[in-house]
Chains A and B, each alone.
Chain A
């Protein structure tokens, strides 16, 4: 018997690859799962048996998704039968990208640097570009660069972390970056962002920075201080007790995110399975296949 506010899901596909930490204690490891509802617990409104949904789940063929208020943040977002499952898997990441866009307060035509072009960085770069910003993405990985170009990013710079700020400045010429997005979880990435950002500019930190040396930490504080920069944390969920933030409800923001995917304004097809050039930056596991693909986590 299912507990209240939970549902049983038959998984079609699950997504692995985003580096954001789990949303809370006990959160499952998959970025997102798409599947068909087999059973619905009492008190769960808006979802019924046979619905096709995307949710946060685990890498398993059949799983229970807990949507109760006390559990880690989750959602059950309806996906049409005609929708491509892999596209649906990206809705969570795209929604996160929209939160970054909201935090970035960038104007059309404004220059934005995105340092790190993994799944999150790539999606965030696409969303800023879609919003009218002139986006410059930087990565040390030639294949991630190829994926970014395949997704339609106009300006991609290939450079190792220690030289990324310099390479970006050289490639972008005299552009002043109003916003720099740290899409890699390391102190060096934050420092590079601070180095390329214009006076009074904004640094968006998408992931908690790990491996921050003492000297890098002091240098970061100095750059923020001297250049009047604003370092803003972007989290996937509005922290409890925080005022303001995006006005949209969870469903509205997921709708908005999926609309971007359906409309081809955010190209996730080329990102998740490498169609059209570049390799996939995140792994999609197909649970409908008779056997899981090589390298996939064991069900």
Chain B
């Protein structure tokens, strides 16, 4: 069968190519999934597109160019290996697949990157695919150990930041969302984040001071992944507060971290990392402990029930051929875009042959 897929051949060179897939020799743990939608996870994908690679090889998400991009897709199982138990042919599923119209996916139960869950027929595919991001928000909730009533500042209202802010508010926190983008501020408001500060870094600090009566916040979340944002987090935290590093720091941005680290020591702050693909995190549920599969199941429930709203955050639904251009757009004009979903259901053009 013919399949189209997105590949980043090298930095600044992304293409949509075509390949022939033979599904007759499907492995016992593999499934073939025909895509409805896939989600552009802007942080990682744009970083790889732009060659901002430090740390990525360690993350396990990138082993070098050419790189088949994408980490989340919704589609239908068109074939399943003999030992695949969790889904079967004909099921509609969410999985961590690539941007491809049709792909063979390893559904081995004990591999972190092999999550695949059946989803209901009436769940909108562009919403269901965003469960991938909601799972990150669940991690943030757990890692930040936020208690009800605590004041939490979420810096960066991209897809991860906006969804995390909603999840923390759902857990009882008083969330303040901060962004330098007016559009992202408006979208965050549209999904119910009550207190938004959209402005420069200086304006954000001043407004936070005002909102907390000068006491600072209990928890600050860096949902961007930049030294300057970590610096902001340390400055606005109250003594004994916590900073959560949700975004991956990719490059130095001219911020001298000595001051922020001094604040960590003097105010007895606790800075915690929360990387999505943590080694050692349980994959399958066991006696009620958190696990990867449970997280995805819960994330799907939350987006389906509308308890976490993602639809207003999806600014772009694009055709597959537009993915390379979108990488460039996200790189240069990220303020004007948030959630980008690739729709594979129509416009099945030929693409270039691999």
Q: A residues touching B (Cβ–Cβ < 8 Å)?
A: 103, 187, 190, 199-200, 205-212, 214-215, 217-218, 220-235, 238-245
Contacts and interface: CB of A to CB of B under 8 A. Distances in A.
Contacts of B59: 226
Nearest to A209: B261
Given A227-B273, A243-B240, A217 B268 contact: no
B266 A233 contact: yes
Interface string B124-162: 000000000000000000010000000000000000000
B272 A239 contact: no
Interface stretch (B165-173, B245-253, B308-316): B245-253
A153 B143 CA distance: 34
B265 A235 contact: yes
Given A229-B272, A232-B269, 6 more contacts: A103-B268, A199-B278, A209-B262, A224-B273, A227-B275, A232-B271
16 contacts: A205-B264, A208-B261, A208-B266, A209-B258, A217-B256, A218-B250, A218-B252, A220-B257, A221-B225, A225-B245, A225-B249, A230-B273, A233-B266, A233-B270, A239-B268, A241-B239
A226 B248 contact: yes
A279 to B, nearest CB: 28
Q: Which 6 A-B pairs have the closest CB atoms?
A: A242-B240, A239-B239, A208-B262, A214-B252, A217-B257, A242-B239
A106 to B, nearest CB: 15
Given A212-B257, A225-B248, A228-B278, A242 B268 contact: yes
B227 interface: yes
Contacts of A238: 268
Which of B143, B216, B265, B278 counts the most chain A CB atoms within 10 A?
Answer: B265
Contacts of B247: 225
A168 B193 CA distance: 47
Nearest to B231: A217
Given A229-B273, A230-B272, A221 B267 contact: no
Contacts of A222: 54-55, 58, 248-249
Contacts of B202: none
B121 interface: no
Contacts of A208: 258, 261-262, 265-266
Nearest to A205: B265
B279 interface: yes
A225 B261 contact: no
Contact of B258 (A199, A212, A231): A212
A218 B264 contact: no
Interface of B: 54-55, 58-59, 143, 215-216, 225, 227, 230, 238-240, 245, 247-252, 254-258, 261-275, 278-280
A165 to B, nearest CB: 16
Contacts of B279: 199
Contacts of A212: 256-258, 261
Given A225-B245, A225-B249, A232-B268, A240 B258 contact: no
A242 B258 contact: no
B228 to A, nearest CB: 10
A263 to B, nearest CB: 28
Contacts of B225: 221, 225
Contacts of B261: 187, 190, 205, 208-209, 212
Contacts of A217: 227, 252, 255-257
Contacts of A209: 257-258, 261-262, 265
B152 to A, nearest CB: 15
Contact of A228 (B58, B215, B250, B274): B274
B321 to A, nearest CB: 34
Nearest to B240: A242
Given A199-B278, A218-B249, A225 B273 contact: yes
Nearest to B265: A233
A232 B143 CA distance: 15
B341 to A, nearest CB: 26
Nearest to B258: A212
